Amino acid sequence: MDLPLGYLFRDLDDDQLKRIAAVAREIPMEKGQQICREGEEAKELYILKTGAVELMTKVEHDVELPISILRKPGDIFGAGVLVAPYQYALTARCAGKGVLFSIKRSAIQKLMMEDRDLGCIIMTNLAAHFLGRLKESRREIKVHFSTLLRSYS
Amino acid sequence: MDLPLGYLFRDLDDDQLKRIAAVAREIPMEKGQQICREGEEAKELYILKTGAVELMTKVEHDVELPISILRKPGDIFGAGVLVAPYQYALTARCAGKGVLFSIKRSAIQKLMMEDRDLGCIIMTNLAAHFLGRLKESRREIKVHFSTLLRSYS
């Protein structure tokens, strides 16, 4: 099975990629289908093959704030499977019919324990990704802050 | 040299900790001193021994937004040394006279290449830390969003 190459698997060699592909299974998704929910135990890592997935976070009782839309094959979500306390940080919903690869937490953890080089590469990629999102998020806060500053000056 | 144990070195064994302590050097800091600047090349990882450090980000020409104050021995900043493109994400300024440990990027990278288990543990801790900060940052955005929602309803 050929896994599309997203940020998480960058710098892995062919043999390492093969071992990851071997524990992935394909699952179809329908538009509107909820794939995982913010705050729930993270059991699967998801990799987009085709289609689109919207990520969002709950703001109030029934209001959700959209965070991003994934459309590129290889885009990843559910990375909470890689980080204690193993919870999904966002809710994911299918925004365009397609196919996902999913990998069980126990399977990816086993590969990372058996091959620490693979583990180090994946966690380095994940940290870089989270740092990128953190910077984006801080940029957004700065915009709010600047607006506030101007409204008081 | 005894390194205070912050989040980054959690789960390392005594031998791994000793190797890290061996490449750390102590540097004194004076109140008001700038230790590193947002956007600059990250050359050193810093670990707080005593004193306090304020982390901030530039909003506009001469306005800075405070992000957090580090006071706990073992608190870490300058983690940009661990993630390409190796830039400091925030500016750090001494907010209370004290002592830092600093570790050169080349030294920590060498340890992580030589011992992939050590690398995997550090990068897992770092990813968990960034994810925690990302969640905090999103909570802040939600507050702004809720306020906006209420002002329009």
Paired sense of beta strands B76-77 and B44-60, if any? antiparallel
Domain ranges of chain A: 7-152
CATH 3.30.70.141 fits A7-152, yes or no: no
Summarize pLDDT for B115-152 with one digit per residue, the tens.
999 999 999 999 999 999 999 888 888 887 777 767 76
Residues in contact with B27: Cβ distance below 8 Å, sequence separation at least 6, in sequence order: B99, B100, B101, B102
Which residue numbers of B have CB closer than 8 Å to A's CBs?
A: 57, 59-60, 63, 65, 67, 79-80, 82-84, 89, 112, 116-117, 119-120, 123-124, 126-128, 130-131, 133-135, 137-138, 140-142, 144-146, 149
What is the rounded distance in angstroms from the CA atom of residue A56 to the CA atom of residue A68?
7
Q: What global pTM score does this model have?
A: 0.90
What is the rounded distance in angstroms from the CA atom of residue B71 to the CA atom of residue B54?
9
Suggest the residue from A90, A131, A137, A146 to mutate for an interface test with chain B (most B CBs closer than 10 A). Answer: A131
pLDDT of residue A43 exceeding 90, the answer is yes
**Number of C-beta neighbours around residue B59 at 10 A:** 17
**Beta-strand (E) ranges in chain B?**
24-29, 34-36, 44-60, 63-70, 76-77, 91-104
Summarize pLDDT for B56-71 with one digit per residue, the tens.
998 877 788 898 999 9
Which of B79, B128, B142 lies at the smallest CB-CB distance from A65? B142
Summarize pLDDT for B2-48 with one digit per residue, the tens.
788 889 999 999 999 999 999 999 999 999 999 999 999 999 999 99
